[in-house]
């Protein structure tokens, strides 16, 4: 798995992209919980929510938020090198939050994004990832009426940071954005490909931050 992810990271750094498109089904509402953890995985990342970030972050959140009932949702998008991948994830994440919010009026959300998944989350909260590695223009944003229900935004290896951008505005105080030293996906001039694969170690810190926001 490590070799495959290294190759994926190298492909991202090279800027390779195809033109294949994949249709994603409409999001459906799940059983209501106190907090729905919505995770957008990285390019080619295996695992339920994402082996490097999503799964360990969800596990850490379960330990930190012991007084809350949690559910999770894996953003259904290609997470590949196609030109429309991040845009599809952006639309699907917003669809899911919309449907969940309507079905569960008291539910709040924690958004998690790793690598290309961070682009997906960025776009969904109104910060364009266009021009970033496997980024895209914004195609949908979480409605303003639902913004207060997004408790925390947890980002890892966020490609917009290599452009000198970050999350600003409404969500800034609710966002933590990890970029490992030398990670070429989020650090302009970074050369340590393996740094992009090490964000599991930040899961506890991310969960601790989220716990202060819910």
pLDDT tens sequence across 22-62: 333 333 445 799 999 999 999 999 999 999 999 999 999 99
Query: Positive or negative CA dihedral for 184, 90, 49, 154?
Result: positive
Q: Is 115 tagged catalytic?
A: yes
Q: Is residue 2 over pLDDT 70? A: no
| Predicted local distance difference test score (pLDDT) of residue 5 | 45
Contacts of 113 (CB under 8 A, 6+ apart): 39, 40, 119, 120, 121, 122, 153, 154, 155, 156, 158
Say what the pLDDT of residue 28 is: 42
* pLDDT reported for residue 17: 35
Identify the active-site residue in 36, 80, 177, 183. Answer: 183
Q: What's the pLDDT band for 19 if we cut at 50, 70, 90?
A: very low
Does 196 qualify as catalytic in the annotation? yes
| Catalytic pick among 115, 124, 129, 136 | 115
Whether 80 is a known active-site residue: answer no
**pLDDT tens figures, 76-109:** 999 999 999 999 999 999 999 999 999 999 999 9
CA distance 130 to 138: 8
Q: Cα–Cα distance between 136 and 21 in angstroms, integer?
A: 14
Q: How many CA atoms lie within 13 A of 115 on its CB side?
A: 32
Q: What is the pLDDT of residue 15?
A: 40
How much is the pLDDT for 64? 96
Q: Is the pLDDT of residue 20 over 90?
A: no
* Residue 157 CB neighbours (<10 A): 33
Q: Looking at the predicted structure, is the pLDDT value of residue 16 above 90?
A: no
What tens digit of pLDDT does each residue of 119-174 get? 999 999 999 999 999 999 999 999 999 999 999 999 999 999 999 999 999 999 99
Q: Which residue has the tokens 């090279």?
A: 14
């Amino acid at each position: 798995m490590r070799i495959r992810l290294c190759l994926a990271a190298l492909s991202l750094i090279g800027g390779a992209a195809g033109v294949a498109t994949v249709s994603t089904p409409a999001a459906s509402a799940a059983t209501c919980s106190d907090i729905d953890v919505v995770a957008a995985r990285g390019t080619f990342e295996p695992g339920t929510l994402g082996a490097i970030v999503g799964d360990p972050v969800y596990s850490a959140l379960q330990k930190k938020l012991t007084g809350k009932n949690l559910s999770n949702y894996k953003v259904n998008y290609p997470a590949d090198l196609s030109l429309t991948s991040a845009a599809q994830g952006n639309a699907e994440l917003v669809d899911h939050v919309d449907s969940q919010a309507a079905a569960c009026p008291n539910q709040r959300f924690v958004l998690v994004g790793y690598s290309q998944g961070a682009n997906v989350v960025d776009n969904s909260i109104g910060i364009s990832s266009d021009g970033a590695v496997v980024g895209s223009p914004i195609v949908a944003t979480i409605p303003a009426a639902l913004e207060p229900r997004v408790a925390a935004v947890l980002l890892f290896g966020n490609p917009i940071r290599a452009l000198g951008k970050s999350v600003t505005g409404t969500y800034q105080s609710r966002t933590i954005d990890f970029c490992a030293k030398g990670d070429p996906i989020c650090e302009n001039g970074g050369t340590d490909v393996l740094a992009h694969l090490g964000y599991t170690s930040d899961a506890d810190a991310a969960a601790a931050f989220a716990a202060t926001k819910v």
